[in-house]
A and B are shown apart, each in its own frame.
Chain A
Amino acid sequence: MSEPILRLERLSKSFGALKVTDGIDLDIQAGETHAIIGPNGAGKTTLIDQISGALRPDAGRISFDGRDVTDMAVPARAHLGLARSFQITQVLPRFTALENVALAVQARSGSSFRFWQPAATQEALNAPSMAALNVVALAPRAHIAAGALSHGEKRRLELAIALAQAPRLLLLDEPMAGAGAEETRGLIETLKGLKRQFTLLLVEHDMQAVFALADRISVLVEGRIIATGSPQAVRANPAVRSAYLGEAA
């Protein structure tokens, strides 16, 4: 197997006496779509936060693309090509949808210490941003303030922002959370279109989405990965069934 794009080694994180991440080892291969599932409180978001850099692990090592990024801050990891969406949407409410995406383009193209030329009319920023909005079918809403978008639209905007970063790995923290059935179907279709172009690491509750999208699934229970494998293998795994799928299956 080739060098993985992301490698977690003995990753651990505790909040007080609670071990939220308990010695996790995980490899994500370039090009795959990997889903992390697990019951509430299993430590999924904490894991994503450590990968993106928002939280520092207590112990262990995170390598991204062969580089040790364990002590690297969020912006630096973003520059290496790590993009993420948030469980609770984080968009810039007073900026239009287009401007939200344009800032992501700006972050990776040229200096931001430019003080005179208006940013609003720079085609170098707007054209790629419009393209990203097109991918998530948000182009008609490009000039609406992000704060005025519907919940589902904000979800898609987050996706467009992440795409505009030209990411090497895309972390999606419950992209379907709070979306209606119709919107969920739309998002699954969008992500299906993206999964061959990008490496996706997906945390999701929606089993329909997970089994429709993932190449591999890891099951996280109480800070530990109890199984990793293809959707079929995970579905058949007795430990998984009892710990997690039991209630849903």
Chain B
Amino acid sequence: MPLAVRTVIDAAAHGLRALTFDQRMAGGLFLLLALLPPLSPVLGGGYLLLIGERAMVLGLAAISLELLIGAGGMVSFGHAAFLGIGAYGAGIAASHGLGTLSVALPAALAASALFALATGAIAVRTRGVYFIMITLAFGQMAFFVATSLAPYGGDDGLSWPGRTLVFGTRLLEGRTTFFYVTLLLTVAAYVLVSRLIGSRFGRVLRGLTDSETRMQAIGFAPYPFRLTAYVIAGTLCGLAGFLIGNHAEFVSPAYMHWTRSGELIVMVLLGGTGTVYGPIIGALAFVLLEEILSRLTEHWKAILGPLLVLVVLFARGGLAGGIEAWRRRKLTPAQLLASLERRARETTAGAGHRAAQIAATSGRLARETATRVGAVWRAWRVVLHHWLGALVLSAKRGAAGARPWATALGRRLESLVQSAERGIAAAVDRWRRR
């Protein structure tokens, strides 16, 4: 072997050893993705690239959510709002003939950052299930606002006149180019979030998740740190929105629906929170499962759902957690299987019971769906009302004087929820009568 080649290999091996496990895993994933365009003619053509782009964009969004969930301990159930806001920001600019990188991208990022700042300023004051509910409410607010944007397509969504122009060129129209631009930005987001988590700021954010009491006692007020993290995550997800809008050359309110926010959470949990490569694996796995299962059967969600339940039950820490455990123990595949079997047996009491319940339920499901939808809707209404009441009450209580904006906001939310409820109620009624 020539000396030069050996030197390069040695340097590469040395560089590889200097990387953390997280970085090596992410690097491997990015390398695989980078190989997709040259391999695509063999592996199913352009369609593969489209799936790859989608997975990367959702991976970018999931990374930004991991910053909130993994580092900040804030489970946002309205994160998809930023996907939509990013896509609408750029799309609306484009529909006014301003679809250039210098306008559309800043518009997407600024709109996301502003929405994050405004909603985060309230949401970040709450913790736990209240945070989940309040982010859900804000996410749905964004969704309803988008459906009412009549000049920009309303319910039907907004078709972009074309992809964002880069310095007057149609650079992003090139399929391979757009693929690599998406990959590059996803890598950038990975690097950014990794650095952030390890920085002074990231330490404080993680410390607050571990023990808020301790952190306050040494002098850290939680609010500014959590709000900053929320704005950074929202802006980053807005970048994903900019990309997904370009990917589809289209944006609709569906991008912001709470089910999409739920999918982002699933990606983070499926991949494994506490790592930065985990969300990328999670997004890849989610998109692949979606693709494969939807080819098998029209009712693919009935398979995907239980599958996700199994992952959450058996692989605490998601796929990354499984990889980590395997790496730690250096198991052979046979041992791995045995240990999985043992864990399965250990959890059988609970899981078996639950599985039986799930089976029994799904048997009855067909008959009971109508009542169930009604029950879920009622439960949702109770929870939202309870939360709204608590929000308005706490806003009132927290203010030295009256805070009219809080009450006004509460009223607006309340009327929004009520109109949503009427819509759901009507839908449920129609469905029952059928």
Interface residues of A (CB under 8 A from B): 52, 54, 73-76, 78-79, 83-84, 86, 90-95, 99, 102-104, 106-108, 110-120, 122, 161, 165
Considering only CB atoms, which chain A residue lies closest to B196 in the complex? A115
Provide the main secondary structure of the chain A interface: loop
Instruction: Using A75-B219, A165-B219 as known contacts, say yes or no to A120 and B214 having CB atoms under 8 A apart.
Output: no
B202 touches A119 (CB 8 A): yes
A90 touches B217 (CB 8 A): yes
Report A-chain residues with C-beta under 8 Å of the C-beta of B213. Answer: 54, 86, 90
Most buried by A among B200, B204, B217, B221: B217
Determine whether the beta carbon of A92 is less than 8 Å from that of B214. yes
User: With A83-B218, A90-B217 in contact, do A112 and B211 touch (Cβ < 8 Å)?
Assistant: no
Q: Is the CB of A114 within 8 A of B199?
A: yes
- Closest A residue to B194 by CB, please name it: A118
With A95-B210, A112-B201 known to touch, is A103 a contact of B196 (CB < 8 Å)? no
* B216 at the binding interface (Cβ < 8 Å): yes
Take A75-B220, A107-B219, A112-B220 as given contacts and tell me if A119 and B198 are in contact as well, using a CB distance cutoff of 8 Å. Answer: yes
Number of A-B residue pairs having CB atoms within 8 Å of each other in the complex? 100
B217 — which chain A residues lie within 8 A by C-beta?
52, 74, 78, 83-84, 86, 90
For residue B195, CB closer than 8 A to chain A, the reply is yes
Instruction: Give Cα A75 to B198, complex, Å.
Output: 23
Give the distance in Å from the alpha carbon of A115 to the alpha carbon of B200 in the complex: 7
Closest A residue to B228 using CB positions:
A113
Q: Which of B199, B210, B211, B216 contacts A74 (CB 8 A)?
A: B216
Contact partner of A112 among B196, B198, B225, CB < 8 A? B225
Closest to B198 in A: A118
Q: Are B201 and A161 in contact (CB under 8 A)?
A: no
Chain B residues near A106 (CB-CB < 8 A): 200, 203-204
A118 CB contacts on chain B under 8 angstroms? 195, 198-199
B260 in the interface (beta carbon within 8 A): no
In the complex, what residue of chain B is closest to A146 when comparing beta carbons? B210
- Look across to chain B and name the residue whose beta carbon is closest to the beta carbon of A75: B221
| Chain B contacts to A: CB under 8 angstroms | 195-196, 198-204, 206-207, 210-211, 213-221, 225, 228
- Assess the B198–A73 pair: CB atoms within 8 A: no
**Are B210 and A92 interface neighbours, CB within 8 A?**
yes
Task: Please name the residue on chain B nearest to A91 by beta carbon.
Answer: B214
Q: Give the CA-CA distance A123 to B183 in the complex, in Å.
A: 35
- Taking a contact as CB atoms under 8 Å apart, the answer to whether B201 and A115 are in contact is yes
Interface of B is mostly: helix
CB pair A92 B199 closer than 8 Å = no
Residues of B within 8 A of A116 (CB): 195-196, 199
Nearest residue in A to B210 (C-beta to C-beta)? A92
Identify the closest chain B residue to A161 (Cβ).
B218
Residue of A nearest to B214 (CB): A90
Given the complex of chains A and B, what is the CA–CA distance between A95 and B206 in angstroms? 9
List B contacts of A52 (CB < 8 A). 217
Answer whether A90 and B200 are a contact pair too, CB < 8 Å, given A83-B217, A108-B219. Answer: no
Residues of A within 8 A of B218 (CB): 78, 83, 103-104, 107, 161, 165
Q: Are A94 and B210 in contact (CB under 8 A)?
A: yes
Query: Could you write out 10 A-B pairs with CB less than 8 Å apart?
Result: A73-B216, A79-B219, A84-B217, A94-B206, A103-B204, A106-B200, A114-B199, A117-B200, A118-B195, A120-B198
In the bound complex, residues from chain B placing their C-beta under 8 Å from that of A83 are: 217-218
Question: Once the chains bind, are A113 and B201 in contact (CB under 8 Å)?
Answer: yes
- Chain B min CB distance to A127 (Å): 16
Name the one of B200, B215, B221 contacting A114, with C-beta atoms under 8 angstroms: B200
Q: How far is the CA of A113 from the CA of B217 in the complex (A)?
A: 19
Q: How far is the CA of A83 from the CA of B219 in the complex (A)?
A: 9
User: What residue in chain B is nearest A110 (Cβ atoms)?
Assistant: B200
Instruction: Given A94-B210, A115-B202, A165-B218, output 17 extra A-B contacts at Cβ < 8 Å.
Output: A73-B216, A75-B221, A78-B216, A78-B217, A79-B219, A91-B211, A92-B210, A92-B211, A92-B215, A94-B206, A95-B210, A108-B219, A115-B195, A119-B198, A119-B202, A120-B198, A161-B214
CB of A177, distance to nearest CB on chain B (Å):
16
| B225 to A, closest residue via Cβ | A112
Closest B residue by C-beta to A78? B219
Contact B216–A75 (Cβ < 8 Å): yes
Shortest beta-carbon distance from B99 to chain A in Å: 31
A contact residues around B206 at 8 Å (CB): 92, 94-95
- Residues of A contacting B201 in the complex (Cβ-Cβ under 8 angstroms): 112-115
